[in-house]
Structure 1
Amino acid sequence: MSDTMGALIRDLSDKDRTVRRAAEDGLVALGAQSVDRLLPYVRDTRRDSPRFSAESVLKRLGDQALPRLREIRRHGPGRLRGKALETLVDLGGARVLDEADRRAVERLVRIKLLGELPVSLPLDAGRWLAFPADRLDDAVSALGLHDLRPVTTVLGVDATTRADDAMDFQNSRGEKQRAYRVFITPEFENWRGDPPTGKWRLVWGNSFVDECDGFTLADTLSKRCGEAHFYVIDPYHSGSVWYVARDGRRVRSYGTYDYPEFRGKPLPFEISYIEDAENGLEGEEYAKGVPDAGIAADHLSVEPGPMSAEETRGHGWLATTHPDLPNSHFKGALPI
C-alpha cells in the first residue's frame, strides 16, 4: 500500500493533467490514510511542489480527514501539527477544532493585537463604508451584526476580501438563508482634512457590500450614525465612486459611469479643486467637483493605506450578519 501511495504522490507533480487528476482520484479513494503523506505539501511554495493537487485531495476528503487531522494535533508528528491546524480550519472552520486549539488561536490573536500597530488597509482596489468611530454600537445595530470578535486588521481584511466571506445555510426553521462576514476596522483619526475630519471606522466585506448594495448600506448607517460614506476604487474599469449620506439620505455623490456623474451640491472640500480647475491648476475633470474616491475619502473620513500608530486607536472586529451562523462556521485558514 505504501508503494502505491508513494507512486500516487509522485504523480501529483506530473506535467500531464490527466495523470495528476488520476492520482488525485486514487488518493481520495484511499481515504484518510493519505492525510499524513499530503500534509507536508500544504502551503508549500517550492516551485516543484504538488501543493495545489495535495490541497485539492484534502478538500475532497473533507469530513473523512478530520479525525486524523485532530489526532495529529493531539499526538503529532510534530512537524505536521501546524499544517494539520490550517487544514482543519480550511475544511471545516474553527468549529471543528478541539477546545484547546480554539483557545490557543484566540490567545494568539490577543497577543498579536498588543503589537499590531501600525496597520495597513488595501488601497489599490476595493469598496468600503465609513462611519464616525464613536457610533460603533449604532453601526453594529444598523447593519444587523452578530458574534463580534476582536481581530487583527490583517485577519479582518483577509476574511472579508480574499477568503470566502458569504455562506448559504438553513436557519433553525429550515429556511434557506445567506450570511456574510464583515470587518469593522480600528478607529482612525485623520488630521489632514481642513478642518480635520475626526475619528472614523471603516467597514470591509466584498460580498456584503456588493450583494446588499453599498449605497443602501450607507443610507442605513447614516440614519443611526448621523453620517456614513460609501467608496469604490475599481482600477480594472478605471472607475471611482464616492457617496455621502447624512441622516438617511444622499447629500453628495460621484460615479465615473453615473449620469450625471455628480449629484448634490459640492461639499466644502471640493471648492478649492473647482477653483483650481477654473484657473488651469487642476484638470478639467475637477471643474464640477472631485472625481477621485481616494481624495474624497482623505478629506471626508479616512483614505485606506498605511495607518500610523499615532492615528490608530483600539482594534478591529469581525462579525457575521446572522445569529445562526457565527464566525466559526466560515471555512478557510486566515493570517493573524
Structure 2
Amino acid sequence: MPEPISVPSTSPIPSATFLGDINTLLRGLSDSDRSVWQSAENRLVALGVQAVDSLLPYVGDGGSSRLKWSAESVLKRLGDEALPRLREIRRQGPGRLRSNALKVLVDLGGSEYLDEVDRRAVERLVRIKLLDELPVKVPSEAGRWLAFPADRLDDAVSALGLHCLRPATMVMGVAGATRATDSLQFQDSQGTRTAYRLFITPGFETWRSDLQIQNWRMLWGNSFIDQLDGFALADKLSERCGEAHFYVIDPYNSAENWYVAREGHRMRSFGSHDYPQFRREPLPFEVEYKEDADEDEAEEYAEGVPYALTAANSLSVEPGPMPASGTHGHGWLATTHPDVPNSRFRGALPI
C-alpha cells in the first residue's frame, strides 16, 4: 500500500559543485556509448533521492529518446526511495516539475500512490475529456479484439466476471489495455494469481447489408485475450449476449483470424494458418462477396472471406475512425478480480 503522505522535506539546497556533477551525469545519459550511459545511470541511482529533481524534466514528451529512457530507468530503479520527494513536489512544487512527478508516481506504483486530491483531479479531467472526445478512433494497424452487442454491456460484465469499471477515454482505454501494464500478479488464499486490465469501447453504430442499424462494443486487452483464449472468451460472451466475435490481425506472422459465436457455439471461423482455414457454413455476407467477385477475385472468395477487417465491417464494427453521430456512451476500463482495482496497475495513461 502507499506510504503515508505526511513526509519531511527531502530536498536540501544543492551546492554548485553538486549541480555540476549532476549535469555531467545527465549528459552521460545521452551518450551513445553503452558503458558511459550505464555508468551515469548507476551513479545517479547511487545519489538516491537527491537526483529526483534533476531527472524529472526529462521524463515528459520532450528531450532526446536516449535521455528520456535513461531518466525514467533511473527513477524506476530508485522506486520507493523516490516516492516521498515526488509527493512533496506534487504538493509544494516547484511547479515546473509537478506534472512529471504525477506521471512518475503512477509509473512507479499505479494511481493508488497518488493522494486523494490528485486522484480526484485525474477523475475530473477524465470526465471533462469524455464530454468532447468525439469523434474517436480505434487503432486498426494490428491487434486482437472481441465484439458484442452494445446493449448487452451488463451481460458481458457478468459473463467475464469483470470488476472496478472506470470511465475512460478511447486513447486512455486502448493504452491501458494494449500498451501499458495490463496484467498483475497478486497473492490470495489460492496462492499466486493474475489479474488483467481490459478496455470496453463505447457503442458504435453500423449498418448491416439489409440496411438495419446495429450497435456493437469492442473489448481490447492483449494479456487478457492472449492468456484466457479469445475464442473461448467469444463463446462465453455469446452465451450471455447472444452473439460475440473475435478478430485477430497479426502482420508479424502474416495471419488473420475471425470467429463468430452464437449462444455459446462456433458458427463460422477463418484462420490463415488453420486447417481447414474455414469452418462451418459460409455466412450471408460471404455469399454476397462470392457472388459479386469478378474473374480475378473468384478464387480469393471461393470458400469465404479471408480478411478480419472485412468480416468485422460486415458482421459488427471495423476499427478505425468512428463518426460522432454513430458513437454512443463512453468506454470503460475494467479488471478481472475484485481485490485488484484499476489503481493497482502501473503506468501513466494518456487522457
Report the 3-state secondary structure (helix = DSSP H, G, I; strand = E; otherwise coil) of the residue aligned with 2:337.
coil
Q: In the alignment, which residue of structure 1 is the partner of 2:251?
A: 235
What pairs up with 1:237-252 in 2 under 5 angstroms? Answer: 237-252=253-268
Contact 2:290 2:298 in 1 (8 A): no
In structure 2, which of residues 126, 139, 151 is the aligned counterpart of residue 134 of structure 1?
Answer: 151
User: Greater CA deviation, 80-89 or 7-16?
Assistant: 7-16
1:258 aligns with 2:274: yes
User: Greater CA deviation, 35-44 or 100-109?
Assistant: 35-44
Q: In the alignment, which residue of structure 2 is the partner of 1:320?
A: 335
Which letter does structure 2 place at the counterpart of 1:21? Q
Contact 1:194 1:299 in 2 (8 A): no
For 1:217 and 1:193, locate their aligned partners in 2 and report how far apart those are by CA, in whole Å. 27
User: What is the deviation of 1:316?
Assistant: 0.4
Which letter does structure 2 place at the counterpart of 1:72? I
User: What is the deviation of 1:281?
Assistant: 5.8
Q: In the alignment, which residue of structure 2 is the partner of 1:196?
A: 212
Which letter does structure 1 place at the counterpart of 2:263? D
Structure 1 unmatched runs, 5+:
none
User: What is the deviation of 1:48?
Assistant: 7.6
For 2:295 and 2:39, locate their aligned partners in 1 and report how far apart those are by CA, in whole Å. 66
User: What is the deviation of 1:236?
Assistant: 2.1
Report the 3-state secondary structure (helix = DSSP H, G, I; strand = E; otherwise coil) of the residue aligned with 1:284.
coil
For 2:120 and 2:299, locate their aligned partners in 1 and report how far apart those are by CA, in whole Å. 57
For 1:230 and 1:287, locate their aligned partners in 2 and report how far apart those are by CA, in whole Å. 22
Q: In the alignment, which residue of structure 2 is the partner of 1:5?
A: 22
User: What is the deviation of 1:46?
Assistant: 3.0
Task: With the length of structure 1 as denominator, give the TM-score of the two structures.
Answer: 0.96
Report the 3-state secondary structure (helix = DSSP H, G, I; strand = E; otherwise coil) of the residue aligned with 1:122.
coil
User: What is the deviation of 1:192?
Assistant: 5.1
User: What is the deviation of 1:283?
Assistant: 4.2
What pairs up with 1:80-91 in 2 under 5 angstroms? Answer: 80-91=97-108
Report the 3-state secondary structure (helix = DSSP H, G, I; strand = E; otherwise coil) of the residue aligned with 2:300.
helix
User: What is the deviation of 1:145?
Assistant: 0.5
Contact 2:83 2:105 in 1 (8 A): yes
User: What is the deviation of 1:6?
Assistant: 3.0
Q: In the alignment, which residue of structure 2 is the partner of 1:72?
A: 89
For 1:190 and 1:314, locate their aligned partners in 2 and report how far apart those are by CA, in whole Å. 15
Task: With the length of structure 2 as denominator, give the TM-score of the two structures.
Answer: 0.92
User: What is the deviation of 1:291?
Assistant: 0.6
1:98 aligns with 2:138: no
For 2:249 and 2:298, locate their aligned partners in 1 and report how far apart those are by CA, in whole Å. 20
User: What is the deviation of 1:96?
Assistant: 0.2
Q: In the alignment, which residue of structure 2 is the partner of 1:31?
A: 48
Which letter does structure 2 place at the counterpart of 1:311? G
User: Greater CA deviation, 186-195 or 34-43?
Assistant: 186-195
User: What is the deviation of 1:207?
Assistant: 0.7
What pairs up with 1:298-317 in 2 under 5 angstroms? Answer: 298-317=313-332
Which letter does structure 1 place at the counterpart of 2:268? R
For 1:193 and 1:160, locate their aligned partners in 2 and report how far apart those are by CA, in whole Å. 31
User: Greater CA deviation, 295-304 or 236-245?
Assistant: 236-245
What pairs up with 1:44-55 in 2 under 5 angstroms? Answer: 44-47=61-64, 50-55=67-72
Change (3 A) 1:185 1:20: same
Which letter does structure 2 place at the counterpart of 1:318? L
Structure 2 unmatched runs, 5+:
1-17
User: What is the deviation of 1:170?
Assistant: 1.1
Contact 2:209 2:314 in 1 (8 A): yes
Which letter does structure 2 place at the counterpart of 1:299? S
User: What is the deviation of 1:290?
Assistant: 0.6
User: What is the deviation of 1:44?
Assistant: 4.4
User: What is the deviation of 1:276?
Assistant: 3.0
Contact 1:193 1:300 in 2 (8 A): no
Contact 2:208 2:214 in 1 (8 A): no
User: What is the deviation of 1:174?
Assistant: 6.5
Q: Cα deviations across residues 195-245 of structure 1 (Å, max 9, x unaligned)? A: 435011110001111110000000000000010000011122221111000
User: What is the deviation of 1:49?
Assistant: 6.2
Contact 1:222 1:247 in 2 (8 A): yes
Contact 2:208 2:315 in 1 (8 A): no
For 1:124 and 1:242, locate their aligned partners in 2 and report how far apart those are by CA, in whole Å. 16
Q: RMSD over aligned Cα, in angstroms?
A: 1.4
1:208 aligns with 2:208: no
For 2:288 and 2:323, locate their aligned partners in 1 and report how far apart those are by CA, in whole Å. 27
User: What is the deviation of 1:285?
Assistant: 1.8
User: Greater CA deviation, 37-46 or 294-303?
Assistant: 37-46
For 1:303 and 1:322, locate their aligned partners in 2 and report how far apart those are by CA, in whole Å. 29
User: Greater CA deviation, 192-201 or 282-291?
Assistant: 192-201
Contact 1:273 1:282 in 2 (8 A): no
For 1:154 and 1:318, locate their aligned partners in 2 and report how far apart those are by CA, in whole Å. 11
Q: Cα deviations across residues 80-120 of structure 1 (Å, max 9, x unaligned)? A: 00110111111111000010000000000000000000000
Q: In the alignment, which residue of structure 1 is the partner of 2:7?
A: none
User: What is the deviation of 1:304?
Assistant: 0.6
